[in-house]
């Protein structure tokens, strides 16, 4: 998987914001008794994990091309 630097940077910023967003959503929905809070939190968590996996694959591919293979 190859992506441009700008795409990588944008996805990294989004994924870093998703983790605190999950905590916020879960807390607010529990405090206020909104429906589907855990479902929304789980969905956002799954998206964060998926983005993290994509970014890890992209980073590993980048380092392989440079000959700088990381563990």
Q: Are 46 and 65 in contact (CB under 8 A)?
A: no
Mean pLDDT of the region 6-32: 88
Query: Which residue is associated with the tokens 């700088």?
Result: 68
pLDDT-derived band at 46, boundaries 50, 70, 90: very high
Task: Assess whether pLDDT exceeds 80 at residue 29.
Answer: yes
Alpha helices, H only, 1-71: 5-32, 37-65
- This prediction's pTM: 0.72
On average, the pLDDT of the chain sits at 85
Please give the Cα distance from 44 to 40 (Å, whole number): 6
């Amino acid at each position: 998987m190859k992506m441009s630097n700008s795409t990588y940077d944008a996805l990294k910023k989004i994924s870093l914001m998703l983790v605190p967003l999950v905590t916020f959503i879960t807390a607010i929905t529990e405090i206020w008794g909104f429906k589907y809070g855990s479902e929304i939190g789980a969905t956002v968590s799954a998206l964060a994990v998926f983005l993290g996996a994509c970014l890890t694959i992209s980073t590993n591919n980048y380092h392989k091309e440079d000959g700088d293979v990381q563990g």
